[in-house]
Amino acid sequence: MTSSHPPKITWISSYPKSGNTWVRFMLYAAIYGPPERSIDINRKIADIHRKSELDTPDPTLPLLCKTHFELTDAHPELANTKGAIHIIRNPRDVLLSALNYHRLTGVTDQQLPDHAYAQAFIAHGGDPMYKQLGFGTWASHARSWRTTERFPVLALRYEDLKADPRAALVTMLDFLELDLDDTRIDNAIKASAFDAMRALEIREKKQAPDQDLSKRLFVGDKRATSKGVYFMNSGSTNQKLDALAPGLDERFNTKLKPQLDEFGYAD
């Protein structure tokens, strides 16, 4: 007998550029099958920061939603929350991925040198723009989700996700109380591989006008893609900042040492 009440939300939470899109692709492919269009992800696993057409939720399946917000009393739908999957990523890699994203979208002043963006990130403990949007700093965001007693939270590390995506997916499915067969899980891993997602990004950007984001999940224009700048970037781990300017890694480690120690990212 199924309940007449709609399911409560399980949040897919992360500081921006920490693997949220990857996790949503993976879970979508496991639950609903490989997506034919990237925008299908938003129809089933909504993005709280982006308006898009949604499919009617299936009350027999988990109701998943993306959020980058820091967890505070002001977070939407707290009373309608069942739990959360929180993804954390090495803030060095977050910094570099965020820099790529800003260059891709043109949000950051194109005249701002890369090393100046990195210095601002280090000084603020995260992207200043993200803090203004309610996402907090890198550390405060992680702390707010990982120490809450409001609801259960599955703590997931991006580095573990990359090292063994299948094991990470199985862990997430267990948390969501979903029992899927091995073939379905293997197909989901294949469909959400970086090469597969990037191929989908390139194909859709060739087909849809740059201004029409109703047809695709991936932001950024065709010119950036033609220059090798993608929304689905390299997904690299353990990168260094000195490639932007000498001394940035030392500055980063000194300024953020307490936060790096707290979340296990100290060198």
Domain containing 181 — which CATH number?
Answer: 3.40.50.300
User: What is the structure's pLDDT at 94?
Assistant: 95
User: What is the structure's pLDDT at 109?
Assistant: 53
User: Looking at the domain assignment, is residue 3 inside a domain?
Assistant: no
Q: Beta strand 63-67 with 46-47: parallel, antiparallel or unpaired? A: parallel
Asked whether residue 88 carries a pLDDT value surpassing 80, the answer given is yes
User: Looking at the domain assignment, is residue 119 inside a domain?
Assistant: yes
Total number of domains in the chain = 1
Asked whether residue 2 carries a pLDDT value surpassing 50, the answer given is no
User: Looking at the domain assignment, is residue 152 inside a domain?
Assistant: yes
The overall average pLDDT reported for the chain is 86
List, for residues 126-143, the tens digit of each pLDDT value. Answer: 999 999 999 999 999 999
CA distance 22 to 161: 10
Q: Structural domain of residue 102, as residue ranges?
A: 9-262
User: Looking at the domain assignment, is residue 258 inside a domain?
Assistant: yes
User: What percentage of residues in the chain have a pLDDT greater than 70?
Assistant: 84
CA distance 234 to 194: 8
| Whether 200 contacts 38, CB under 8 Å | yes
Global pTM value: 0.87
List, for residues 31-56, the tens digit of each pLDDT value. Answer: 999 988 878 888 899 999 887 777 88
User: Looking at the domain assignment, is residue 122 inside a domain?
Assistant: yes
Weakest mean pLDDT among 28-32, 34-38, 199-203: 199-203
User: Looking at the domain assignment, is residue 1 inside a domain?
Assistant: no
User: Looking at the domain assignment, is residue 267 inside a domain?
Assistant: no
User: What is the structure's pLDDT at 157?
Assistant: 97
| Three-state DSSP class for residue 65 | strand
Torsion over CA of 69, 73, 74 and 75, rounded to 10 degrees? 40
User: Looking at the domain assignment, is residue 93 inside a domain?
Assistant: yes
